[in-house]
């Protein structure tokens, strides 16, 4: 270990990055979510269902697709409880993150709310629910079924 | 493909290196590697720098490092494969030789991770998956990524928190034998088990630290290698693979498909089987990662990783000694440096120059396993004395 | 070294692409390149992604892009050589073939630069030199870097602001013929000369824009290429070089030593002389950069770049037509995409598929010149019909 | 050009980077500067003088060196006037950047202060001068000789 008192240039310039991420290709997902529906894309050519939704098929590269309902029922595949959070989440209490699988369909990662850690088990039935951030951004969480 | 050998190695002390900037840190390894190779610096036609970047002030690290080290007008680039950036640099430098571009090339791995505060580091690593779908709203962290695997592995195979802590105890034991390691003190199972919870069930002692460090290797074509050294270590076979950015798209959470694929390709290319490996470095950014690596690399069957650590099979004297340099856990994990550091370690082992942590070398074969992210990338390299 | 050919090309529309994220943008080129090559996607053993990164939210672009495009378990990495990242990707993909790793490989170049505000972009590029010695206290910018060269070139050779503006007028003219270009309108000399001063003597119309865009090429070994296509375009010779991070360490400010070195190496490797080049793309991030490139690449003598543009020698129908796709100046300069985009353009030219901006092809030889930073890197590739 | 109204996720997370850059190996430079002297490193083995100063020789890789005085006299090699400044320099007025060469020695890039743009020419004699930022960080500029 080095001495903490090693000389350093404490930079007087900060670099702050905050991105505007295009959502034209997934706007139906976010709009359905605002109405409480959880949908994703199904390839018109090969039938592959993707999550996250994408307008180009990763299996056959086809560009034709339809939106299909996924929710709300799913079950927990795996999970964790995050106690040391990133800088941009310092105002959050520790949160449970779970990967949950929809019946016969894709898996989705999100917060699992409304349950204490010791009660969470793989296989636990959950349902997906819509939320909005304080800024009005839509997102989704899982809650016990 | 022409054969390529490691002919020179260099390695800085890993740790909190507030005494050097990124170029000074890289130079420590570059100088050693050049001197160890016996090559004239002007023979080196390509320098490939492996660094994830973002943690330190310089955004063109390859250029800053080459300027500092006096590599004027050398062919160069930076490569990134997350925590496998170092292996990607070794690969690109080796391909530069095998393709005929140059006879001698250098791969330098470096990261300087302690110039920002810890929670910014947590943020930088957490963003390295699918930002939009798994970070923006959910604040994934690196421990959380691996905790999702740990929970699944525990649930399916009965792996325990104690099994994971055993990996940490082993790592710190070997770290205590490596003067370049970040942590050089042994720890007890109780200390590991009782450490702060980071992302349940992973605790502070399940995780590698944030580190500064560098490593470098000089590589040469068969003809050049034979002129430079009597102890070349050959790149016998390599395998690379990758997996989805979104963890939700993975098939399961009990192993890394990218590691399985990469190791099968490396074994195939080198005509080596796991039982021929004398010594290995496995990517143990978290203790669960080392246990999964035993399984994914075919050192044992799927689900038996915990048994291997319990039985001491990966200790010095065991069936396949793993991470005798302390591993990422105790040696430290300066992201871009790690893959090159592993190559340095296995080269020294195969040269019988590993000092206090030297493994017995029977078949002359060592293996480097380096994972980027949570199996977003995997690079496996089989090295051989002949 | 085995021969490597370009067998498929893809190119997105460049510009302010607020309709797509980075993976969707890359996919536009990937799909075209795969379809153009006729290869089965599963033949592609390696995908190398060229991207400087930092401008957009995803920090592991190679992984995000491969997931989106369905490249499961492919060997992959990202490469960075500043604004030459795209050429570095082509190089690494070609070396993957020439070294025998795979028969078919893809290089994808992509950048998404409009997700942050303009002054943050100015900051990101300004930091890409020597942060500590030239940015922290002095706020270097990309136009400032090239302005230091422009002032020296003007002082030494009598090059004028009007000469530089002529380059912009030429670029916009050809941009108007390229439906994928960011700017598709002609401009007058007066408009260029009268545009806003950015870093004296460089004005807004001396500078390339901030751009989003992608490009992709599928490369193949000689054997695979002959099965896939009747119109392979061969990588005949390549040269790479670099120079100091600190501008203060450069020998002079009238040309880029890295471009001189890289082009000499590429000419030597391909046994081609500048007068044999039918068509070229030169790195015109600023108008002065194109004039210096004419000289550094040996298209004319040092100091005579301005004369070449005045005499129309680099126009369609001139001695060596340069940047008939509009160049970085009018086509746009999504940093990581540019080198791949240049390779796409020259491939199309050599296939006689460049449409309205097709050059007459006599010797079947084209040249790609791609600079990273201000000559921090240079990559030159000679492409050939046979 | 795309319509400005394309939908986008305006990220609610920002990433702010500000670095503590080790200066142990160059502290003599910064300390001399505070005392008004401008020094750099000279290799004990091959005599190479580096700027920026570095404790390892780029020519011969030697690690022995001494500190040598450079200043204050230099002349302008090339220059520019920065009118569009980076995000972290938005509070600055436009500035002149010059690369200046010390007699028989290395070149240095810094601001050129105390002179109007039309009067600056290559070859113009200047001298280096010490400055301190509002935060107390030492730096250097050129001024007319
Ligand atoms: Zn499909
Ligand atoms: Zn020296």
Number of H helices, E strands in chain C: 13, 11
CATH topology for the B4-116+210-228 domain: Peroxisomal Thiolase; Chain A, domain 1 (3.40.47)
Q: Do B18 and D17 touch (CB under 8 A)?
A: no
Contact A56 C67 (CB under 8 A): no
- A17: distance to nearest CA of chain C, Å? 7
3-state secondary structure of C152: helix
Beta strands C4-11; C44-50: pairing state: unpaired
* CA D59–ligand 2 middle distance (angstroms): 5
Considering the entire predicted model, what is its pTM?
Answer: 0.98
Pairing of strands C279-281, C202-203: unpaired
Q: Which of B155, B200, B247 sits opposite A117 (nearest CB)?
A: B200
Q: According to the model, what pLDDT value does residue A57 have?
A: 98
User: Considering C333, C357, C369, C376, which one is annotated as catalytic?
Assistant: C333
Report the distance separating Cα C141 and Cα C145, nearest Å.
6
Residue C286 DSSP symbol? B
Nearest-angstrom CA–CA distance, C326 and B229: 51
Q: Look at B64 and C128 and tell me if their CB atoms are within 8 Å.
A: no
Exposure string of C57-70, with b = 16+ CB inside 10 Å and e = fewer, is bbbbbbbbbbbbbb
Interface test with B, best of D17, D43, D86, D106 (most B CBs within 10 A): D17
Average pLDDT over residues B125-141: 97
Distance in angstroms (rounded) separating the CA atoms of residues A43 and C135? 49
Query: What are the tens digits of pLDDT across the range C148-163?
Result: 999 999 999 999 999 9
CA distance C88 to chain B (A): 7
The residue written with tokens 């016996």 in the block is B38
Using the beta-carbon criterion (under 8 Å), do B140 and A89 form an inter-chain contact? no
Residues C265 and C261: their CA atoms lie apart, in Å, by 6
What does the pLDDT read at residue D105?
Answer: 82
Q: Do C242 and B60 touch (CB under 8 A)?
A: no
Chain A and chain C share a number of CB contacts under 8 A equal to 61
Q: Which of C133, C137, C199 sits opposite D82 (nearest CB)?
A: C199
> What does each of the 386 residues of chain C score in pLDDT, given as a tens digit?
589 999 999 999 999 999 999 999 999 999 999 999 999 999 999 999 999 999 999 999 999 999 999 999 999 999 999 999 999 999 999 999 999 999 999 999 999 999 999 999 999 999 999 999 999 999 999 999 999 999 999 999 999 999 999 999 999 999 999 999 999 999 999 999 999 999 999 999 999 999 999 999 999 999 999 999 999 999 999 999 999 999 999 999 999 999 999 999 999 999 999 999 999 999 999 999 999 999 999 999 999 999 999 999 999 999 999 999 999 999 999 999 999 999 999 999 999 999 999 999 999 999 999 999 999 999 999 999 99
In this prediction, residues A98-114 reach a mean pLDDT of 95
| CB-nearest partner of D1 from C16, C138, C202 | C16
Percent of chain B with pLDDT over 90: 99
Given an 8 Å threshold on Cβ–Cβ distance, is C18 in contact with A24?
yes
Question: Mutation test of the interface with chain B: which of D27, D54, D86, D107, choosing the one with the most B Cβ atoms within 10 A?
Answer: D54
Average pLDDT, chain B: 97
Residue of D nearest to C120 (CA): D87
Residues above pLDDT 70, as percent of chain B: 100
Q: Is the confidence at residue D38, as pLDDT, over 70?
A: yes
Ion ligand 2: residues, Cβ under 5 Å: D 43, 45-46, 48, 57, 59-60, 62
Chain centroid to CA B141: how far? 20
Q: Which of D13, D17, D24 sits opposite A15 (nearest CB)?
A: D17
Supply the DSSP string of C36-74, one letter for each residue. Answer: HHT--GGGEEEEEEE---SSSS-S-HHHHHHHHHT-TT-
Cα B136 off chain centre by: 28
Residue C369 is among the residues annotated as catalytic for this protein = no
Which two structure tokens, joined as six digits, stand for D121?
Answer: 């020419």
Task: Identify the CA nearest to A125 among candidates A104, A142, A141.
Answer: A142
Residue A1 confidence (pLDDT): 39
Question: Chain D closest CA to C87's CA: distance in Å?
Answer: 26
Q: Rounded to whole angstroms, how far apart are CA atoms B334 and C193? A: 49
pLDDT band at residue B2 under the 50/70/90 scheme: confident
Q: C61: Cβ–Cβ under 8 A, 6 or more apart, which residues?
A: C22, C26, C49, C51, C53, C78, C110
Write down the pLDDT at residue B383.
98
How many whole angstroms from A46 Cα to the centroid of ligand 1? 4
Q: Residue A105: its pLDDT value, please?
A: 82
Neighbors of chain D by Cβ distance (3+ pairs < 8 Å):
A, B, C
Q: What integer is the mean pLDDT of B318-325?
A: 98
In D, minimum Cα distance to C184 occurs at D1
Q: Give me the residue from D11, D14, D88 closest to A21, CB to CB.
A: D11
For ligand 2, the distance from its centroid to the CA atom of residue B315, given in whole angstroms, is 45
Reported as a single tens digit per residue, the pLDDT across A38-67 is: 999 999 999 999 999 999 999 999 999 999
Q: Which ligand is nearest to the CA of D54?
A: 2
pLDDT in tens, D1-14: 345 679 999 999 99
Measured CA angle at B192 (ends B188, B194), to 5 deg: 110
Determine the residue among A15, A17, A60, A86 to mutate to test chain C binding: the one whose Cβ has the most chain C Cβ atoms within 10 Å.
Answer: A17
Closest ligand by atom to C70 CA: 1
CB-hemisphere CA count at 13 Å for C52? 30
Pair C112, C25: CB distance under 8 Å? yes
Q: Which residues neighbour B72 within 8 Å (Cβ) at sequence distance 6 or greater?
A: B66, C243, C244
Tokens for B344? 């340095």
Size of chain C, expressed as the number of residues it contains: 386
Q: How large is the average pLDDT for residues D107-135?
A: 97
Contacts of C78 in chain B (CB under 8 A): 79-81
Centroid of chain to Cα C36:
21
What percent of chain A stands above pLDDT 90? 94
**Out of B15, B19, B143, whose CB is closest to A6?**
B19
Chains that touch A (3 or more CB pairs under 8 A): B, C, D
Cβ contact, residue pair D85, C141, below 8 Å: yes
Domains along the sequence of chain A with CATH: 23-69 (no CATH), 71-145 (2.40.50)
In chain A, the residue whose alpha carbon lies closest to the alpha carbon of D4 is A22
CB contact under 8 A, A9 and C68: no
Contacts of A40 (CB under 8 A, 6+ apart): A29, A49, A50, A51, A52, A53, A67, A68, A70, A106
Beta strands in C135-232 (DSSP E): 197-200, 202-203, 212-221
pLDDT at A14 exceeding the cut of 80: yes
C117 touches chain A (CB under 8 A): no
Cβ burial of B303 (10 Å; 0-12, 13-18, 19+) is: middle
- So what's the pLDDT on residue A104? 78
The verdict on a CB contact (< 8 Å) between A81 and B200 is yes
| Chain B residues in contact with A4 (beta carbon < 8 A) | 18
Per-residue model confidence (pLDDT) at position D2: 45
Q: What is the mean pLDDT of residues A87-112?
A: 96
Is residue C319 within 8 angstroms of chain A, CB to CB?
A: no
**Hey, is B210 helix, strand or coil?**
coil
Distance from CA of A90 to the nearest CA of B (A): 8
Q: How far is the CA of D48 from the centre of ligand 2 (A)?
A: 5
Q: How far is CA B197 from the centre of its chain?
A: 25
Rounded distance, CA B180 to CA B186, Å?
15
Residue D46 CA to ligand 2 center (angstroms) comes to 4
Residue B1 reports pLDDT greater than 80: no
Six-digit token pair at B353? 């120059």
Q: Does B24 touch chain D (CB under 8 A)?
A: yes
User: Of the candidates A14, A27, A137, which has its C-beta nearest D18's C-beta?
Assistant: A14
CB of C263 within 8 A of CB of C383? no
Q: Which chain D residue is nearest to residue A10, measuring alpha carbons?
A: D20
**Do residues B157 and A98 make contact, with C-beta atoms less than 8 angstroms apart?**
no
CA angle B373–C372–C265, rounded 5-degree value: 110
Distance A47 CA to ligand 1 centre (A): 6
Q: Is B117 on the interface with D (CB under 8 A)?
A: no
Compute, in angstroms, the gap from residue A101 CA to the centroid of ligand 1.
Answer: 21
Q: Chain A: give the shortest CA distance to residue D69, in Å.
A: 22
Residues of A in Cβ contact (< 8 Å) with C116 = 17-20
Nearest C-alpha neighbor of D32 from the set D128, D145, D143, D134: D128
Of the candidates C95, C127, C242, the beta carbon closest to that of B74 is on: C242
How many other C-beta atoms lie within 10 A of the C-beta of residue D14? 12
Q: What is the mean pLDDT of residues D38-66?
A: 97
Q: Check B11, B172, B283, B333 and give the catalytic one.
A: B333
Chain C residues inside the 8 Å CB shell of A137: none
Name the minimum distance, in Å, from the CA of B269 to any CA of chain A: 28
């Amino acid at each position: 270990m080095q001495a903490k008192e090693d000389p350093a240039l404490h930079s007087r310039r900060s670099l702050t990055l905050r991105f505007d991420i295009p959502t034209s290709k997934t706007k139906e997902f976010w709009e359905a979510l605002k109405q409480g529906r959880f949908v994703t894309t199904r390839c018109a050519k090969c039938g592959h269902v993707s999550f996250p939704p994408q307008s180009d098929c990763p299996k056959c590269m086809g560009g034709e697709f339809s939106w299909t309902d996924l929710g709300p029922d799913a079950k927990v595949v795996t999970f964790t409880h995050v106690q040391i959070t990133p800088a941009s989440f310092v105002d959050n209490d520790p949160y449970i993150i779970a990967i949950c699988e929809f019946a016969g369909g894709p898996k989705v990662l999100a917060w699992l709310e409304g349950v204490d850690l010791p009660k969470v088990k793989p296989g636990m039935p959950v349902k997906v629910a819509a939320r909005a951030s304080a800024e009005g951004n839509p997102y989704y969480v899982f809650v016990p079924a | 493909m022409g054969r390529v050998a490691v002919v020179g190695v260099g390695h800085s002390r890993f740790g909190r290196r507030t005494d050097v900037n990124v170029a000074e840190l890289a130079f420590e390894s570059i100088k050693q590697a050049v001197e160890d190779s016996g090559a004239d610096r002007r023979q080196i036609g390509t320098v490939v720098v492996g660094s994830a970047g973002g943690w330190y002030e310089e955004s063109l690290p390859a250029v800053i490092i080459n300027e500092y080290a006096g590599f004027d007008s050398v062919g160069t680039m930076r490569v990134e494969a997350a925590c496998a950036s170092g292996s990607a640099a070794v690969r690109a430098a080796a391909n530069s030789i095998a393709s005929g571009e140059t006879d001698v090339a250098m791969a330098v791995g470096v990261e300087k991770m302690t110039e920002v505060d810890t929670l910014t580091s947590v943020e930088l690593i957490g963003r390295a998956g699918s930002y939009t779908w798994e970070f923006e709203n959910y604040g994934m962290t690196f421990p959380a990524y691996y905790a999702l695997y740990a929970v699944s592995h525990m649930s399916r195979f009965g792996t325990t928190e104690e099994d994971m802590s055993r990996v940490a105890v082993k790592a710190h034991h070997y770290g205590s034998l490596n003067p370049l390691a970040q942590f050089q003190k042994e720890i007890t199972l109780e200390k590991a088990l009782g450490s702060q919870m980071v992302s349940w069930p992973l605790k502070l002692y399940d995780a590698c630290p944030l580190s500064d460090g560098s490593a470098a290797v000089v590589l040469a074509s068969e003809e050049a290698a034979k002129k430079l050294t009597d102890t070349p270590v050959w790149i016998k076979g390599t395998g690379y693979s990758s997996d989805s950015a979104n963890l939700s798209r993975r098939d399961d959470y009990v192993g890394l498909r990218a590691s399985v694929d990469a190791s099968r390709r490396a074994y195939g290319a080198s005509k080596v089987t796991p039982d021929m490996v004398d010594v290995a470095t496995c990517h143990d950014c978290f203790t669960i990662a080392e246990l999964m690596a035993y399984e994914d690399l075919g050192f044992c069957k799927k689900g038996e990783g915990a048994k291997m650590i319990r039985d001491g099979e990966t200790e010095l004297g065991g069936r396949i000694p793993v991470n005798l340099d302390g591993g990422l856990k105790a040696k430290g994990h300066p992201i871009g440096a790690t893959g090159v550091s592993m190559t340095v370690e296995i080269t020294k082992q195969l040269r019988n120059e590993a000092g206090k942590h030297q493994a017995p070398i029977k078949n002359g074969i060592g293996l480097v396993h380096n994972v980027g992210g949570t199996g977003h990338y995997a690079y496996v390299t089989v090295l051989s004395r002949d």
